[in-house]
Amino acid sequence: MIWEIGTLLKHVMLPPLGLGWLLVLAWFLVRKRPRTARWLIGIALSSGLLLATPMVSSRIMGAALADQPMPAGAQPGAIVVLGNGRGLMLDAQGHVVYAYPSAGTLERMLAGARLHKRTGLPLLVTGGNPDGRGSPEAGVMRDSLERDFGVPVRWVEDRSRNTVENALNSAPLLRAAGIGTIYLVTHDYHMHRARQLFEAQGFKVFPIGAQQPVDGNTATAVAGPAPFSLRDLVPTTTGLNDSFLAFNEMAGLLYSRARARAAE
């Protein structure tokens, strides 16, 4: 329940959906201060349209990314693949009969499987069951990797509810195996925050973007911006989603830093 409330609050508070609060405020002001209400409505609608354009969303996403230098020294001893959700198939009574990796999780699994086949390093998959329904995310990932990709999974961390706990709960498993340097597989927009959290646990991290080619030796750099096109000015649902993901990562960074300070 706490996880569901947190997820709901995240979506209704962060842009672009969070701009709806300006419309709510405008509704309360429309009689007494109609001019202010009109300004608020204009700001909310124009901001929403701008956040939906690839031109703006790509720049906000760029602000959430961070091109950090590759670590020097030891080579990775394991591949850590972060989950990105799973889907549930329900029967007529609403009971879970099957769980499967989401599209984002499949992209990360594919990158991890390719990297394993190039390096032979063992895999750790991480992701819990925050909604309390069906199988934990990490178990779904393991089953699919072994069944569909022919890749063995050595460690399954299935208790975490977020990226902070991904790092906290994975660390003991890796340390017990004497591993201090890892390949970390996730999406580019998520990498900066995820890498910081695993480094805070004492690991050297080689980042691997889920949608980038894997050469098995070094991580690829964050892709540069695409050439400008007039289509970048057209609002799209993808643009809205990218803007939300970027704001979500910024909020996640603030949360993880606040939690680290509270623990000091």
Q: Residue 225's pLDDT is what? A: 59
Q: Residue 60's pLDDT is what? A: 82
**Residue 121 near residue 79 (C-beta atoms within 8 A):** yes
**pLDDT confidence tier of residue 195, bands split at 50, 70 and 90:** very high
SS3 5: helix
pTM, two decimal places: 0.82
Residue 131 has pLDDT above 90, yes or no: no
**Residue 218 near residue 241 (C-beta atoms within 8 A):** no
**Residue 151 near residue 116 (C-beta atoms within 8 A):** yes
Q: Residue 18's pLDDT is what? A: 87
Residue 180 has pLDDT above 50, yes or no: yes
The set of residues, in sequence order, having a beta carbon less than 8 Å from that of 37 and lying 6+ positions away, is: 26, 27, 29, 30
Share of the chain above pLDDT 90, in %: 52
SS3 90: strand
Q: Give the DSSP H/E element, type plus range, for residue 89.
A: strand 86-90
- Average pLDDT (5-14) is 74
Q: Which CATH fold would you assign to the domain 78-209?
A: Rossmann fold (3.40.50)
CA distance 255 to 264: 15
Q: Residue 218's pLDDT is what? A: 47
Domain-by-domain residue ranges, the chain? Answer: 2-65+236-263, 78-209
Q: Residue 114's pLDDT is what? A: 95
**pLDDT confidence tier of residue 50, bands split at 50, 70 and 90:** very high
Mean pLDDT is lowest, of 90-99, 174-183, 225-234, for 225-234
**pLDDT confidence tier of residue 220, bands split at 50, 70 and 90:** very low
